[in-house]
Amino acid sequence: MAANHNPHGPLSQLTGYHLRRASSVFAADFARAMEGTGLRQVLLGILAVVSANPGINQGSVGRLLGIKRANMVSLINELIDAGLVDREVDASDRRAFTLKVSRRGGAALKDALVRIELHEQQLLAGFTADESRILLDLLGRIERHEPAVD
């Protein structure tokens, strides 16, 4: 029997390689699912975190998502300019801003989550509920090795 050639060589057994490829598949399909909304993965992430933590400041959002302070600035500005997030000076710490999802942002988030639900269902179509749960668990255990940002 001929040994089946493995075109990816050592990559085929590397978790890091497959994480990279699978993540890229998700990213590409996410973009397709969001077409027309103007929302990208990072922006959706911020919107979701602000929505779950009304009044949070942008440094904290960055820490939760692994985004550096310096890079948060223009991202938040995009959301403000799009009218999805409201920003106010924090009365108790005048260096900081408090962020809230606007009415329009809430609707955009709701719509996005519907699209994402569909997009995830498609990419995980062959997965049992158990397999999906297991995947989330294993990924979560990897994420715990993340060094703090900033």
Contacts of 42 (CB under 8 A, 6+ apart): 65, 67, 75
Q: Which residue has the tokens 């993340």?
A: 146
Q: Which is nearer to a copy of itself, 9 or 94 (CB)?
A: 9
Classify 33 as helix, strand or coil: helix
Distance CA 150, CA 65 (A): 12
Q: Which is nearer to DNA, 32 or 133 (CB)?
A: 32
Distance CA 11, CA 17 (A): 6
Within positions 42 to 71, which residues make up the interface with DNA, using CB under 7 A?
A: 42-43, 57-60, 66-71
CB 142 → a copy of itself: shortest distance, Å? Answer: 4
Q: Which is nearer to a copy of itself, 35 or 146 (CB)?
A: 146
Q: Which residues of this protein are in contact with DNA, per CB under 7 A?
A: 24, 28, 40-43, 57-60, 66-73, 75-76, 92-97, 149
